[in-house]
């Protein structure tokens, strides 16, 4: 594996606090090993990451593209967060068998449930291809030509490393295009639900406690990976067998203490630690406020109906939870970045850079970097506001994106039927009846989980907010709020998408609809096109900004002016290490030291019948009798959640929290709102990771859910 001296030198940089950083696994031997050992690590770098031998990284997977999970048995048992499995659990639920509300535990492997679409991704290896890719470009190129050349080389590398399609390969840019690495993955698509606690445990505290500490949430769910008889990835089949993984994690129930070593492996989604000061200001004043307001508008539209109808509540539970999570996150970001004057801190750092850049030897390459960046943000502040109103409307409204979803499928259906019924029928091999049945099934699935009254309100309210608040140029047909409001009302009354039976008649050939001319289809196209439309002058500013941002990061690393010496997160596997770590004492927490919470603390929050703080009677009874089995702490209480000072972000949800020996002690699931600015700047005093104690997980599986057979699968360290 190549490790050039230059790359290592740049990576090592300045001394960084042990709890800060999302580190590449291939560099931990040279960059992190000594610091980790000082904190208590008892593993070698090779035991954590190895290409040629089994290592800890083989027990950690990306879960369904957006979370992390870990293997905890020799039979493919996978543990992740409840909120990571939420979509699959909701899909497998019905009003009669509501696994979200009631929980679910498979009594045998045959009873495990297969959702339609769920996969896990194993990380196989990575390597540095910076020299190869950057050798194809030069500073004389335009940004467009540079991007095109890089994409072409990336395509070649991904094809070369895929081994004929056996692996998924992704080449990613780091440090804003100054380095490139490829990552090799292997996907398994037969993943089945094994168990989940009821949402009153898995989602205890709801939106009120989200991002808050002290926390009392049993945020976990359990799945199993299946493979063919040879252990290879395979589409779902009843003949598939549980995967025998290369490595599964031992589960340690001895307990934890403040100061214990804690390491997290996972797939953090996105950070912006290198973001310039003007970019932070744009987010705080323009982008995030629009995001918050647009999210709240769509949430309110859903909630009115969810509170009145159990089926709607189930159908929209996952979407509502996802929007609510980011709604609170973005407001927390606004508050934290404002409170800690992050823009001012970054601006001071850039002023130091500007002085360095104006030195004669640096002026040619770096002299205009900061001014170019600031010009870009000044010109795009209103566009950022506009884009966040509109993008959140498109994210929340199924009708707003109908041209890309159901509408697109109907157009494809019409083309397929024309072929099947035309002169190309024999050569094409199309079966008209089969195409009809497939499309009818697609319609049934789409409308089964969709409430037209809900969707109409989301669209109407979202568009009203957008056109009254976004100062950036609106689509040409959006003349005024009153005009567009009337227009949307008319569209919703006339569109075929408001009449599923009419669409079914079209599919069966009983009537004829020109989908491309449908008024809602056309409105959807207009909204999507307007979001992606960019003025020519902005296109040039974006190109200038991309070049300047790349040079800013390069110069910051070269000059040693930045404390950040690791690349931003981008859904590639990273390692973060630190310790079990307390916050200052909090009267809301009954724990003796404010780094853990207890089941009694959970009971103290109990509000019968409350959507967020209700609890099952069985859990209350187990606490009353102290029937905790072998999972109680040595001091007698039942632990629930605990804090570490690890550096994580979205995508780390479900990540394993490991002790000094690489044994599982918990699952990461949240951060604390005091350090919500963490995606931009790390606060070594306040930033914490909130984790589910593995003892609470096993207690809930064994004592609460009576699924002891699953605990018996695991390798328990007592």
What are the backbone dihedrals phi and psi of residue 182, each rounded to the nearest 5 degrees, phi first? -105, 150
CA distance 679 to 686: 13
SS3 label, residue 70? strand
* pLDDT at residue 669 tops 90: yes
What are the backbone dihedrals phi and psi of residue 714, each rounded to the nearest 5 degrees, phi first? -85, 160
In the chain, the percentage of residues whose pLDDT exceeds 90 is 85
Q: How confident is the model at residue 486 (pLDDT cuts 50, 70, 90)?
A: confident
User: Closest by alpha carbon to 93, among 258, 304, 318?
Assistant: 318
Q: How confident is the model at residue 4 (pLDDT cuts 50, 70, 90)?
A: very low
What's the whole-number average pLDDT of the chain? 93
Quote the pLDDT of residue 534.
Answer: 86
H helix intervals, 194-309: 199-202, 206-209, 277-282, 288-306
Q: What is the pLDDT of residues 88-113, one digit of tens each?
A: 999 999 989 999 999 999 999 999 99
CA distance 716 to 707: 15
Average pLDDT of the segment spanning 419-433: 58
Q: Which residue has the higher pLDDT, 172 or 424?
A: 172
Query: What pTM, to 2 d.p., does this model score?
Result: 0.88
* pLDDT at residue 1 tops 50: no
Quote the pLDDT of residue 8.
Answer: 38
Q: How confident is the model at residue 17 (pLDDT cuts 50, 70, 90)?
A: very low
Average pLDDT of the segment spanning 413-423: 81
SS3 label, residue 517? helix
Show which residues are catalytic.
83, 219, 653
Look-up of token digits 């954590």: 48
Q: How confident is the model at residue 473 (pLDDT cuts 50, 70, 90)?
A: confident
Could you check whether the bond before residue 214 is cis, i.e. omega within 30 degrees of 0?
Answer: yes
Quote the pLDDT of residue 685.
Answer: 81
Lowest mean pLDDT among 104-108, 383-387, 411-415, 678-682: 678-682
CA distance 167 to 156: 14
Beta bridge partners of 241: 227
Look-up of token digits 């996105």: 270
- Residue 207 is encoded by which pair of tokens? 């939106």
- C-alpha to C-alpha distances, 288 to 249, 329, 393, nearest whole angstrom: 39, 10, 14
- Residue 382 is encoded by which pair of tokens? 């209103």
SS3 content of the chain, % helix, strand, coil (to 5): 50, 15, 35
SS3 label, residue 666? strand
Average pLDDT of the segment spanning 471-498: 83
Q: What is the CA radius of gyration of the chain?
A: 27
CA distance 284 to 338: 7
| Structural contact between residues 622 and 201, judged by C-beta atoms closer than 8 angstroms | no
- Indicate the domain borders of the chain: 43-256, 277-536
Lowest mean pLDDT among 152-156, 473-477, 500-504: 473-477
* pLDDT at residue 6 tops 70: no
Quote the pLDDT of residue 479.
Answer: 67
How many H-runs (helices) and E-runs (strands) does the chain carry? Answer: 28, 19
H helix intervals, 359-405: 360-366, 369-396
The dihedral over CA atoms of 156, 157, 159, 160, expressed in degrees to the nearest 10, equals 110
Q: How confident is the model at residue 313 (pLDDT cuts 50, 70, 90)?
A: very high
How many other C-beta atoms are found inside a 10 Å radius of the C-beta of residue 485?
A: 15
Q: Residue 108 belongs to what H/E stretch?
A: none
Lowest mean pLDDT among 262-276, 445-459, 665-679: 665-679
Average pLDDT of the segment spanning 646-670: 97
| Structural contact between residues 670 and 642, judged by C-beta atoms closer than 8 angstroms | no
Quote the pLDDT of residue 474.
Answer: 78
Average pLDDT of the segment spanning 486-511: 94
Quote the pLDDT of residue 220.
Answer: 98
- Residue 87 is encoded by which pair of tokens? 């979509």
CA distance 659 to 674: 26
CA distance 680 to 275: 7
Quote the pLDDT of residue 477.
Answer: 74
* pLDDT at residue 675 tops 80: no
Sign of CA dihedral 414, 419, 423, 429: negative
* pLDDT at residue 494 tops 90: yes
> HSE of 203 in the Cβ direction (CA atoms, 13 Å)?
26
Q: How confident is the model at residue 425 (pLDDT cuts 50, 70, 90)?
A: very low
Quote the pLDDT of residue 431.
Answer: 65
CA distance 108 to 682: 45
CA distance 212 to 92: 30
The conformation of residue 113, written as its DSSP 8-state character, comes to B
CA distance 497 to 489: 13
* pLDDT at residue 516 tops 90: yes
User: Closest by alpha carbon to 642, among 586, 694, 683?
Assistant: 694
- Residue 692 is encoded by which pair of tokens? 């589910």
Q: How confident is the model at residue 582 (pLDDT cuts 50, 70, 90)?
A: very high
């Amino acid at each position: 594996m190549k490790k050039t001296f230059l790359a290592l030198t740049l990576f090592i940089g300045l001394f960084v606090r042990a709890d800060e950083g999302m580190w590449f696994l291939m560099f931990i031997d040279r960059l992190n090993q000594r610091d980790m050992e000082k904190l208590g690590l008892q593993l070698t770098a090779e035991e954590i990451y190895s290409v040629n031998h089994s290592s800890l990284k083989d027990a950690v997977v990306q879960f369904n593209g957006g979370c992390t999970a870990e293997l905890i048995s020799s039979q493919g048992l996978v543990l992740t967060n409840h909120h990571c499995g939420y979509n699959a659990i909701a899909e497998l639920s019905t009003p009669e068998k509501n696994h979200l509300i009631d929980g679910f535990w498979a009594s045998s492997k045959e009873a495990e449930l297969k959702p339609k679409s769920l996969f896990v991704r194993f990380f196989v290896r990575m390597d540095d291809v910076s020299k190869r890719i950057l050798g194809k470009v030069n500073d004389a190129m335009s940004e467009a030509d540079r991007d095109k050349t890089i994409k072409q080389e990336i395509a070649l590398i991904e094809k070369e490393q895929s081994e004929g399609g056996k692996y998924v390969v992704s080449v990613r840019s780091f440090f804003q295009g100054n380095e490139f690495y490829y990552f090799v993955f292997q996907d398994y698509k037969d993943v089945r639900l094994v168990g989940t606690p009821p949402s009153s445990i898995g989602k205890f505290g709801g939106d009120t406690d989200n991002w808050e500490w002290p926390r009392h949430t049993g945020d976990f769910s359990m799945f199993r990976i299946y493979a063919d008889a040879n252990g290879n990835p395979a589409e779902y089949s009843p003949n598939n067998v549980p995967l025998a993984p290369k490595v599964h994690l031992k589960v340690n129930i001895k307990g934890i203490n403040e100061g214990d070593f804690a390491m997290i492996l996972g797939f953090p989604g996105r950070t912006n630690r290198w973001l310039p000061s003007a970019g932070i200001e744009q987010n705080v004043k323009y982008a995030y406020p629009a995001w918050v307001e647009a999210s709240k508008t769509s949430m309110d539209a859903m909630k009115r109906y969810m509170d009145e109808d159990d089926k709607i509540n189930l159908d929209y539970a996952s979407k509502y939870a996802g929007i609510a999570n980011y709604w609170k996150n973005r407001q927390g970001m606004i508050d934290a970045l404002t409170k800690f004057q992050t823009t001012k801190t970054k601006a001071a750092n850039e002023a130091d850079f500007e002085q360095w850049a104006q030195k004669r030897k640096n002026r040619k390459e770096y002299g205009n970097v900061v001014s170019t960046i600031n010009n870009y943000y000044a010109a795009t502040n209103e566009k950022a506001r506009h884009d966040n109103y509109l993008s959140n409307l498109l994210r929340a409204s199924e009708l707003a994106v109908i041209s890309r979803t159901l509408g697109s499928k109907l157009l494809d259906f019409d083309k397929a039927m024309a072929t099947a019924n035309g002169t190309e029928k024999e050569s094409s091999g199309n079966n008209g009846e089969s195409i009809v049945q497939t499309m009818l099934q697609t319609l049934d699935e789409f409308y089964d989980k969709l409430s037209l009254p809900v969707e109409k309100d989301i669209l109407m309210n979202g568009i009203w907010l957008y056109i009254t608040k976004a100062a950036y140029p609106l689509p040409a047909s959006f003349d005024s709020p009153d005009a567009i409001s009337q227009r949307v009302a008319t569209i919703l009354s006339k569109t075929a998408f408001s009449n599923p039976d009419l669409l079914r008649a079209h599919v069966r050939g009983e009537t004829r609809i020109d989908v491309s001319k449908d008024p809602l289809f056309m409105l959807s196209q207009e909204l999507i096109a307007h979001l992606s439309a960019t003025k020519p002058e902005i296109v040039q500013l974006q190109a200038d900004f991309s070049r300047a941002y790349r040079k800013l990061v390069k110069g910051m690393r070269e000059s040693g002016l930045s404390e950040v010496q690791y690349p931003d997160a981008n859904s590639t596997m990273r390692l973060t290490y630190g310790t079990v770590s307390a916050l200052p004492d909090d009267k809301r927490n009954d724990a003796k030291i404010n780094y853990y919470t207890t089941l009694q603390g959970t009971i103290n929050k109990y509000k019968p019948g409350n959507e967020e703080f209700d609890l099952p009677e069985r859990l209350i009874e187990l606490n009353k009798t102290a029937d905790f089995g072998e999972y109680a702490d040595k001091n007698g209480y039942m632990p629930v959640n605990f804090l570490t000072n690890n550096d994580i972000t979205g995508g780390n949800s479900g990540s394993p929290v490991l002790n000094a020996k690489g044994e599982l002690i918990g699952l990461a699931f949240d951060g604390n709102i005091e350090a919500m600015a963490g995606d931009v700047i790390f606060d070594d005093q306040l930033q914490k990771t909130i984790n589910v104690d593995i003892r609470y997980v096993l207690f809930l599986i064994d004592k609460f859910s009576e699924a002891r057979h699953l605990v018996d699968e695991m390798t328990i360290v007592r």
